[in-house]
Chain A
Amino acid sequence: MSGILNSSIGRKFAMALSALFLMVFILQHFAINILSVFSPDTFNEASHFMGTFWAVQFILQPVLIFGVIFHFVMGFVLEIQNNRARQVSYAKSNGAANSSWMSRNMIWSGGFILVFIVIHMIDFWVHEMNVKYVAGDMSGLINPADPTSGFRYYEELVVKFVPIWRVALYCVGFIFLALHLLHGFGSAFQSIGANNKYTKALKGVSNVYSIGIPAGFIFIALYHHFAH
């Protein structure tokens, strides 16, 4: 297994594994976020558990951060290598005749998703780290001195989605996520060597996931903006 990342297939395999891991994470993220629409209390409970349970915080969170960084760094590395593989461009190239726009522009959709992730981290994660590990408040309460004040997570979420510019930004981010997934979902399975009798069925699952999950996130952002 040594040096697998030195080969083109090995790099693609690693890229696909990180993608599959991130897709599982997005599904889990969505499952918790959608609770905020149906039951603020359950959303608060789930958020507090995720934010304070040691295995999530100190095992899954670092793995996730590594997965995200690995995926975009490898994505850029592969893109640079691919550009080097054709030093003179075609005067006329008709890519639309043989491949989807999404498949030819993964670096752009991925790049915009990266920008979105940075903004998203500043919006929620940095604040979360400050409260818990800098200020040392692990209570999760709106007012740490008042145990009856209730959890702060739902309130913070609602406040974030008040400005329309942030809602719009999130919607655009999720549209890019949908475009990225529409090619990436099936591409990841192809890269790990899974192209078989289930591939057609997988295409259906891919479309449901790739459009459904980002649409769900967009719904959550719009819901909190207009409902409060």
Chain B
Amino acid sequence: MNLTLKIWRQKSAKDKGKIVDYTMSDVSPDMSFLEMLDVLNQELIDKGEEPIAFDHDCREGICGMCSMFVNGQAHGPDRAITVCQLHMRSFKDGDTIYIEPWRAKAFPVIKDLIVDRSSFDRIQHAGGFISVNTSGNTQDANAIPINKHDADAAFDAATCIGCGACVASCKNSSAMLFVSAKVSQFALLPQGQVEATDRVMNMVKQMDAEGFGNCTNTGACEVECPKGISLENIARMNREYLKASFKG
């Protein structure tokens, strides 16, 4: 395949950045999207140019590191995958492909396609945990009866890999889907009840402080999420937040 790539290049956080055109020939349809970029980078290095900086780690869709807005969609055109699971067979010979970083005030660009997602970490630190005594006398998990439906829903919420595709896809750059997944995975389980009030209040407070937008329920996040995190989690977080607000 022959392709034209329009890639966002930005030297540093302070640099203005711009779209730069690259042409690639003989791209194998069996390559993953990141392998294609590896080949392009090798070509750039051979020419003595600066390779394109992009985030990646596991390359099997579980780490949440890779983050590219490909042809106007987070992680590209396919559903329930990350960029590392996107293959060149999803494109046609002669295609023009736009590759951009996540765009959000709360995700400032570090370099090229790499953004700073530490705002997610700070939201987690604000309340995305439970306090458990792990001094050696931990209770057997099976001793606590948990409704199967709740356990499944909590597990589904816990599959969020914190990649930020929800923020990137949202026209408002809202982080509600991410935060709601992190709230839900504990709100659904008995272990999460102890700190339920503080958790949701603190996480939402931190989310707002980071400069994410407001959710307008467009549902774009759910569609683009590589793990298919459901909007039901946002509704649950709204309930948790209102409950916590009344408790004071």
Q: Which residues of A contact B (CB under 8 A)?
A: 1, 4, 7-13, 78, 81-82, 84-95, 97-100, 103-104, 106, 183, 186-187, 190-196
Contacts and interface: CB of A to CB of B under 8 A. Distances in A.
Nearest to B246: A1
Contact of A94 (B73, B103, B205): B73
A92 B98 contact: yes
Contact of A9 (B219, B232, B241): B241
B217 A92 contact: no
Nearest to A75: B216
B245 A4 contact: yes
Contacts of A12: 214-216, 238
A183 B103 CA distance: 25
A99 B71 contact: no
Contacts of B204: 7-9
Give the top 6 A-B pairs by smallest Cβ distance, nearest first. A94-B72, A195-B235, A85-B213, A193-B239, A82-B172, A98-B223
A91 B7 CA distance: 10
B238 A90 contact: no
Given A91-B100, A190-B234, A97 B72 contact: yes
Nearest to B18: A91
Contacts of B100: 90-92
A183 to B, nearest CB: 8
Interface in B53-107: 69, 71-73, 77, 98, 100, 103-106
Given A85-B212, A85-B213, A86-B103, A92 B235 contact: no
Interface centre among B71, B212, B241, B248 (most CB of A within 10 A): B241
B113 to A, nearest CB: 13
B220 A99 contact: yes
Contacts of B19: 91
B29 interface: no
A191 B214 CA distance: 11
Given A90-B100, A91-B19, A91-B98, A8 B216 contact: no
Contacts of B246: 1
B6 interface: yes
B224 interface: yes
Contact of B213 (A4, A9, A81, A100): A81
Interface string B177-221: 000000000000000000000000000110110011111111110
B72 A93 contact: yes
B155 interface: no
Nearest to A85: B213
A180 to B, nearest CB: 12
A104 B219 CA distance: 10
A94 B71 contact: yes
A7 B238 CA distance: 11
B217 A86 contact: no
A106 B216 CA distance: 9
Contact of A98 (B73, B173, B231, B237): B73
Contact of B238 (A13, A82, A86): A13
Nearest to B205: A7
Contacts of B103: 86, 88-90
B98 A191 contact: no
Given A9-B237, A86-B173, A98 B224 contact: yes
Contacts of B8: 91
Given A8-B215, A92-B71, A99-B218, A82 B171 contact: yes
B236 interface: yes
Contacts of A9: 204, 237-238, 241-242
Contacts of A86: 103-105, 171-173, 213
Nearest to B98: A92
B174 interface: yes
B124 interface: no
A10 B244 CA distance: 11
Contact of A90 (B69, B218, B232): B69
A10 B245 CA distance: 9
A4 B71 CA distance: 38
A202 B231 CA distance: 15
Contacts of B98: 90-92
Contacts of B214: 8, 11-12, 78, 81-82
Given A9-B204, A9-B242, A98-B218, 19 more contacts: A1-B246, A8-B207, A8-B212, A12-B216, A13-B238, A13-B242, A78-B216, A85-B104, A85-B106, A85-B173, A85-B213, A86-B105, A92-B6, A94-B72, A97-B223, A104-B218, A193-B242, A195-B232, A196-B235
